[in-house]
Structure 1
Amino acid sequence: MLILSCPSKLQLLEGVLRRSLPQTLTVYGAVMHINRGNPAQHEVVVDSWPEFKVVLTRPQKEVVKDNRDFYASLYAAFYWEIDACRSLLENAKVIDWGKAFQLQGLQDGLYEVARSTAEARDVHFEPYYYETVLHPGPPAHSQSRPRSDFLHFGTLNSSHAALLNETWSTGGNCHSLNYMDSLIRDFPSACLIDKEGQLASWCLSDAAACLTHTYTLPKYRGQGCMETVVQATARKLYANGFPIYGGVLRDNNPSRQSLKRQGFHFLPWTHYVIFVKPAIRYKE
């Protein structure tokens, strides 16, 4: 395996991944962030260069302070050959399966390799399955404001992290709180606030440039808030050349309908978000 650190090679990699969109979305978004300031302090691993069969992005060693923190330890991967993917994921120099991490990707084979590897190591494997949505861009302005005169755009900051953490379905703990704060600080986002200056709705994006944790407080639903914050975040991403994509749970009909109204296309690939937690570290 090789760690790509040369800027010219990383730019070349970005171009190769762009030509294989949309299946490369997660790792492509991560590489784009690396090439644009690297706010998450990630790095790129390939099996070989320049002819590579698998590519994976991961945090640099000094980034993750707690071995139990699978939020901060975000990996994204794409492969052309499944055997190369298996070899890379099983390589202890690439992924330490004794530490918690999350893995994102759009390929069924990636999910199967991760599952079988986790089973062989007797670690906890917790997958989430999202429908992948992609907007052809540019985002429309037709629904760029909520249907309420009492809401207006604000700016997310660290003081909002607790509320975001409480309302996130996969959050609610100290590690996810820190993760929410890092997303607020490092990546494009948008929010609406009410006349008292309190949060009403928001949309974040992550180290893979994926739209995530879009949420509207119950009393503000039905006013077009979701469309407003998604489009605002999408415009920030689009302005910097990023693809506009995300994932939605199949049973989340309100969000699915909202995304359709905004012009998102539903792709035939599942967006896998897999949490791996070494079981020995999580015993009660």
Structure 2
Amino acid sequence: MLVLNCSTKLQKLEKMLRWSFPVSLKVYGAVMNINRGNPFRKEVVVDSWPDFKAVITRPQRQVHIHVISFVSESFVNGESFIWEACTFFFFLIYFLYSLRMDPKFTLAYLDISHSSLLNKTWSRGGNPRCEKYLANLICSFPSACVLDDEGYPLSWSLTDQFATMIHSYTLPEHRRKGFSRLVTTTLAKKLHSCGFPVQG
């Protein structure tokens, strides 16, 4: 097995994986995130290069970093690479949807203070480790949500390290109002504008 460290090879791999959709979608998303800052500190291993038959993404062997320490580093240093690239697009979408949405609701993105609510509503959540994982996703990858007039999330969706839209949820009392479609569409457009495949 060969670890790909060269950025040129990783970019070439990303292009090669694109031609194998949908089979390569998960590994493509991981390679794409590695090429765009590698927030989860992954590495790519192939059986041979350039005529590979297997591609594996795994945590880097030499890096042992606790999830919450990455969250604070990313938050303090402003290394949320995707946010910077998508800021203009997000505000354009926000402006367009705010023209049609009830003024007491706001289209926004999740912030780290929402991680406890997501942890409570996530089927795999309910523990501190999952809350740290969700906080890391919120800080590192695009998300979208509808907030009420007090800034409380009513509906949301976020992406993970594989560029997959995950953990979409609408609070039961706010279902059947179109919030889920609004959040999913906004996030999909944001991902597409940043060059990510839309999957989830």
Q: TM-score range by the shorter chain?
A: 0.7 to 0.9
By percentage of residues, which structure has more helix? 2
Q: Which amino acid aligns with 2:183?
A: V
1:50 is matched with 50
Shift of 1:9: 0.5
Cα distance change, pair 200–34 in 1 and its aligned pair in 2 (3 A) = same
**Partner deviation per Cα, 1:160-213 (whole Å, 9 max, x = no partner):** 100000000111111111110010000010111101111111100000000000
Match runs of 1:192-207 below 5 Å = 192-207=146-161
Secondary structure (helix, strand or coil) at the match of 1:32 reads: helix
Q: Which amino acid aligns with 2:17?
A: L
Aligned residue number for residue 117 of structure 1: none
Q: Is the 8 A contact 2:4 2:43 kept in 1?
A: yes
Q: Distance in 2 between matches of 1:244 and 1:188?
A: 12
Report the aligned-residue RMSD. Answer: 1.9
Question: Aligned runs of 1:57-68 on 2, under 5 Å?
Answer: 57-61=57-61, 62-63=63-64, 65=66
2:12 alignment partner in structure 1: 12
Contact 2:97 2:107 in 1 (8 A): no
Q: Distance in 2 between matches of 1:44 and 1:157?
A: 30
Greater RCO, CA 8 A, separation 6+: 1
The answer to whether the 8 Å contact 2:155/2:168 transfers is yes
AA paired with 1:59?
P
Q: Distance in 2 between matches of 1:147 and 1:222?
A: 14
Is 2:180 aligned against 1:226?
yes
Deviation at 1:25, TM superposition (A): 0.5
Is 1:186 the counterpart of 2:127 in the alignment? no
CA 1:170–1:235 in 2, change beyond 3 Å: closer, same or farther?
same
Residue 42 of structure 1 deviates from its aligned partner by 1.2
* 2-structure distance, mates of 1:230, 1:65: 30
Instruction: Tell me the distance in 2 between the aligned counterparts of 1:144 and 1:210.
Output: 23
Query: Per-residue deviation at 1:64?
Result: 5.1
Q: Where in structure 2 are there 5+ consecutive unaligned residues?
A: 68-92
Cross-structure match for 1:39: 39
Query: Which position in structure 2 is the counterpart of 1:2?
Result: 2
Aligned to 1:25: 25
- Distance, in Å, in 1 between the alignment partners of 2:26 and 2:160 is 10
2-structure distance, mates of 1:56, 1:148 = 46
Letter in 2 for 1:166: K
Partners of 1:239 and 1:189 in 2: CA distance: 13
What displacement does 1:144 show? 4.9
Q: Which has the larger radius of gyration?
A: 1
Residue in 2 that maps onto 1:131: none
Report sequence identity in percent. 49
Residues 56 and 144 (structure 1), Cα distance of their counterparts in 2 relative to 1, 3 Å cut: farther
Residues in 2 aligned to 1:30 and 1:217: alpha-carbon distance in whole angstroms: 30
Q: Give 1:164's aligned residue.
A: 118
| Contact 1:147–1:224 (8 Å) recurs in 2 | no
